[in-house]
Structure 1
Amino acid sequence: MVWDEPVPISRDQARATYLAVKRTPPGTGTAPDVAKELPGEVTLYPGHVLVSMDLDTMDELSAQVFTVARAHGLVCYDPQRDLVHNVAPLGVYEGMQLHTGDGMVVHDPDLGLIHDVLGTMSAQNPFVALVNFGQHFLQVSPGFELEYKEGNLVRAMVAELEEVRQAFNEYATGERGFLSRHQWA
């Protein structure tokens, strides 16, 4: 679902908005003009656009929806993954990509999305990576094994998800404190 928000919102707020809008009848009121640019089956709600897609094309179409929403400065909520894509705040690397083991790819992800995605690692989502192609990347897998590559590939084990989230936030914002805090091999 895509809509306008004046400030970044939490996943809980996005979920609540999505559920509230779904309880209203579609096709009433005005919907954002962006609806004609969105792929998939589009249902209009007052101030909101719902994009439906099948599971076979979900990853590809979701990436297109995120890109269109971002271009228009709109929030995008993915109810399948229970993730919200805000317009900001972004990391410092233009073109950075967020990749997940369950097939999601997001260009220029917001910092809140990165934080939330890290909590979704599981057997069905076996890694999360932030990639700056041709430069460096940071990746984590369940068990919290961090891998960082900028020239040589190094690995470190961390104990807690919050440590992983801090490392990913630092990486995305151009800080490198995570490199000195952990023992890399």
Structure 2
Amino acid sequence: MVWDEPVPISRDQARATYLAVKRTEPGGGPAPDVAKELPGEITLYPGHVLVTMDLDTMDELSAQVFTIARAHGLVCYDPQRDLVHNVAPLGVYEGMQLHTGDGMVVSDPDLGLVHDVLGTMSPQNPFVALVNFGRHFLQVSPGFELEYKEGALIRAMVADLAEVRQAFHDYATGDRSFLNRYSWS
């Protein structure tokens, strides 16, 4: 579901908005301009656009929806993954991509999305990576093994999800202090 929010919102706020809108009747009011550009099956609600897609094309279409929503300055909530995509704040690397082991790819992810996605690691989602193609990347897998590559690949084990989230935040914002906090091999 895509809609306008004046400031970034939490996953809980996005979920609540989605559920509240779904309890209303479709239609009513003018369609947001973005509705003409979105792929998939569209259902219009006042101020909101619901994009329905099948599971076979979900990853590809979701990436398109996220990109279009961001271009229009809109929030996008993915109820399948229970994730919210805000317009900001972004990391410092233009074109950085967020990749997950369950097939999600998001260009220029907001920092809140990166934080939330890290909490979704599981056997069905076995890694999360921030990738700056041709330069460097940071990746984590369950068990909290970090991998960083800029030339050579190095690895470090971290104690918990909070440390992983801090390392990813540092990496996304251009702060390289995470490289000094761990014993890399």
TM bucket, shorter chain:
over 0.9
Please give the per-residue CA displacement for 1:20-48, whole angstroms capped at 9, x wherever unaligned: 00001001122311001000000000000
Q: How far apart are 1:81 and its partner, in Å? A: 0.1
The residue that corresponds to 1:103 in the other structure is: 103
1:148 aligned to 2:148? yes
Percent identity for Structure 1 against Structure 2 = 88
Structure 2 unaligned residues grouped into runs of 5+: none
Q: How far apart are 1:123 and its partner, in Å? A: 0.3
Please give the per-residue CA displacement for 1:134-169, whole angstroms capped at 9, x wherever unaligned: 000000000000000001100000010000000000
Q: How far apart are 1:177 and its partner, in Å? A: 1.1
For 2:107 and 2:98, the matched residues in 1 are separated by 6
The residue that corresponds to 2:52 in the other structure is: 52
Aligned-residue Cα RMSD (Å) equals: 0.4
- The secondary structure found in structure 1 opposite 2:25 is coil
For 2:184 and 2:42, the matched residues in 1 are separated by 48
The residue that corresponds to 2:62 in the other structure is: 62
For 1:30 and 1:86, the matched residues in 2 are separated by 23
Please give the per-residue CA displacement for 1:45-99, whole angstroms capped at 9, x wherever unaligned: 0000000000000000000000000000000000000000000000000000000
TM-score (norm. length: structure 1): 0.99
For 2:95 and 2:134, the matched residues in 1 are separated by 11
- Structure-to-structure mapping, 1:27-176, within 5 angstroms: 27-176=27-176
The residue that corresponds to 1:4 in the other structure is: 4
Q: How many residues align?
A: 185
TM-score (norm. length: structure 2): 0.99
Please give the per-residue CA displacement for 1:82-138, whole angstroms capped at 9, x wherever unaligned: 000000000000000000000000000000000000000000000000000000000
- Structure-to-structure mapping, 1:172-183, within 5 angstroms: 172-183=172-183
- The secondary structure found in structure 2 opposite 1:153 is strand
For 2:124 and 2:59, the matched residues in 1 are separated by 14
Amino acid of the structure 1 residue aligned with 2:132: N
Moved beyond 2 Å, runs of 4+: none
Amino acid of the structure 2 residue aligned with 1:46: P
